[in-house]
Chain A
Amino acid sequence: MAVVEITPLDWSRHAISPGTTEIHSGMTTEIVRRCYDLHGFNLSVVGDSQQIDFLDPILGNLAAPDRTKCNWTVTLVQACEVVASQARSRKLWESALPEGPEATVFEVDRIRTLFVADHFEMSVDLKSRSSTVRFTSQGATYIRGTGAFWLLGEIMAATGRFLLHGACLIEIRSNQAIALFAPSGTGKTTTALALARRGMALAGDDALVLETSDDTTYLWGIPRGLKIHQQTAALMPWLSPVLGAWETDEQLVRLDALRDLVTIASTSRRRCGAVIILMAPNLTRHEIKPMSKTEAITHILSDNLRRAAGGVDANGQAAFAAIARLLAATQTISLSLGPDPCSLDSSLVTGALESNANFS
């Protein structure tokens, strides 16, 4: 194994290859690789072994053998500092991350960068189809949160796929995907769990991927853990076997931990059978109605179209077109959950869809 002596603060100028041992200030770090199979698009992460799994909370169930030939490589580099990009970069947006720190997205020469001062910097290079994640010790935890989702979303968009905020359920008989859209905190997880408990299968409750191949639109769910709120647990006592003590009002539960309680779907890509827009709860009963596609798309875009000071960028415009094509090709219904989510049966949804199809 080659030993490379490097000067302090010089990590980022050395190419990183799996299996290389680098020495820095007396510490050795093995460079390893982690790969993910995103349905024909293979992503690899190369770098410091301690953070190599930073995408696992999102993509862990899609891990592939580390000798997989990959289409896009993310290189991890731990740095002593992360400084702002060059002044000539075009600022696309800036905002505080949900985790707290201020973030800015720059773009220059087809390289888009998410920058969080003193924490991390993630870049997406459309020319070389690669990414670099530079992080400080302070940023090591933060790269696993919103930043990881941003990075994945940008990489997917660069390859014609779109990461959307929504749940992905599977109608078992037809093996078609059912997309459920609703803003955070409005009952999407509760509804998805209810449907997966009674007749459907759950592929993901919070993020799904929309992609088009041969003029057909496919969906697949991101198999990340579910954040189960205490209110959801109160409405669904059958969740208790997978829940621990409530230290906060949310618990993260791995998707496969729910396997004995709900039907879990594979991560396969599937054609979309319907789109459900979750509306405000109904005080008396579950209500499912046809929804016009124009109304449905306004709900979806309000939660999934990123607008910046300069408007909507090329990725956003492409996502807009993809979502429109999805709706043009599928049924759209609205669902208002009644007071007892446990009584929501998938047959109510499939029955509404069949009825809607007969009248359309």
Chain B
Amino acid sequence: MKDSDIISISSCATFQSLGDGAVILRTDSGQIYTCNETTEAFLKIVDGRHTFGEILKRLVAAFDIDQDTLTADISSLADDLIEQGIIVAA
């Protein structure tokens, strides 16, 4: 994942916030994923307009955590979400 990649929710996925986490539905398979508040915060910013780098900056501002740790965690998360077909990078 590069900082310049534009991230968007896959056309085969839909995401809903629950307040204490979020739930994702893969519409092509019916698979349900639940996620914690960190993932929820990330997915809320994934809108097909912001780059990965911009998303990281917004999350650093929102969470009391050092940038290197957050970058490593979110990069790993993003890789997982791409592998699951929930987000796509362009």
B12, B14, B25 pick with most chain A CB within 10 angstroms? B25
Determine if A293 and B14 form an interchain contact, defined as CB atoms under 8 angstroms apart. no
Determine if A311 and B20 form an interchain contact, defined as CB atoms under 8 angstroms apart. no
Q: Is A294 an interface residue (CB 8 A)?
A: yes
Name B29's closest neighbour in chain A (CB-CB): A311
Residues of A near B36 (CB, < 8 A) are 294
Residues of A near B30 (CB, < 8 A) are 305, 307, 311-312, 316
Question: What 1/0 flags go to B10-23 for Cβ under 8 Å of A?
Answer: 00101011111111
CA A88 to CA B36, docked complex, whole Å: 44
Residues of A near B20 (CB, < 8 A) are 292-294
Determine if A312 and B25 form an interchain contact, defined as CB atoms under 8 angstroms apart. yes
| Shortest Cβ distance from residue A273 to the other chain B in the assembled complex, whole angstroms | 16
Determine if A311 and B23 form an interchain contact, defined as CB atoms under 8 angstroms apart. no
| Shortest Cβ distance from residue A321 to the other chain B in the assembled complex, whole angstroms | 6
Q: Give the dominant DSSP class at A's interface.
A: helix
Name B26's closest neighbour in chain A (CB-CB): A311
Count of residues in A whose CB is under 8 Å from the partner chain: 20
Determine if B32 and A328 form an interchain contact, defined as CB atoms under 8 angstroms apart. no
Give the A-B contact count at a CB cut-off of 8 A: 60
Determine if A298 and B28 form an interchain contact, defined as CB atoms under 8 angstroms apart. no
Determine if A294 and B23 form an interchain contact, defined as CB atoms under 8 angstroms apart. yes
| Shortest Cβ distance from residue A69 to the other chain B in the assembled complex, whole angstroms | 35
Which of A294, A301, A307, A310 contacts B18, CB < 8 Å?
A: A294
Known: A292-B21, A324-B23. A301 touches B32 (CB 8 A): yes
List B residues 1-43 near A (Cβ within 8 Å). Answer: 12, 14, 16-23, 25-30, 32, 34-36
CA A328 to CA B17, docked complex, whole Å: 7
Residues of B near A298 (CB, < 8 A) are 23, 32, 34
| Shortest Cβ distance from residue B75 to the other chain A in the assembled complex, whole angstroms | 23
List B residues 33-83 near A (Cβ within 8 Å). Answer: 34-36
Residues of B near A325 (CB, < 8 A) are 16
Known: A294-B18, A320-B14, A328-B18. A312 touches B23 (CB 8 A): no
Question: What 1/0 flags go to A269-312 for Cβ under 8 Å of B?
Answer: 00000000000000000000000111101100100010100111
Residues of A near B22 (CB, < 8 A) are 294
Residues of B near A316 (CB, < 8 A) are 30
Name A308's closest neighbour in chain B (CB-CB): B30
| Shortest Cβ distance from residue B16 to the other chain A in the assembled complex, whole angstroms | 3
Determine if B18 and A324 form an interchain contact, defined as CB atoms under 8 angstroms apart. yes
Which of B12, B19, B29, B32 contacts A293, CB < 8 Å?
A: B19
Q: Is A29 an interface residue (CB 8 A)?
A: no
Residues of A near B29 (CB, < 8 A) are 307, 311
Determine if A295 and B34 form an interchain contact, defined as CB atoms under 8 angstroms apart. yes
| Shortest Cβ distance from residue A60 to the other chain B in the assembled complex, whole angstroms | 34
Determine if A293 and B27 form an interchain contact, defined as CB atoms under 8 angstroms apart. no
Q: Is A327 an interface residue (CB 8 A)?
A: yes
Query: A294-B21, A294-B35, A327-B18 provided; 10 other pairs, C-beta below 8 A?
Result: A293-B18, A295-B34, A297-B34, A298-B34, A301-B23, A301-B32, A305-B30, A312-B25, A317-B27, A327-B19
A–B pairs, 7, beta carbons within 8 Å: A294-B20, A294-B21, A298-B34, A301-B32, A305-B32, A312-B27, A324-B17
Footprint of A on B, CB under 8 Å? 12, 14, 16-23, 25-30, 32, 34-36
Q: Which 10 residue pairs spanning A and B have beta carbons closest together?
A: A307-B30, A324-B16, A294-B34, A293-B18, A311-B28, A294-B21, A328-B19, A312-B27, A328-B18, A312-B30
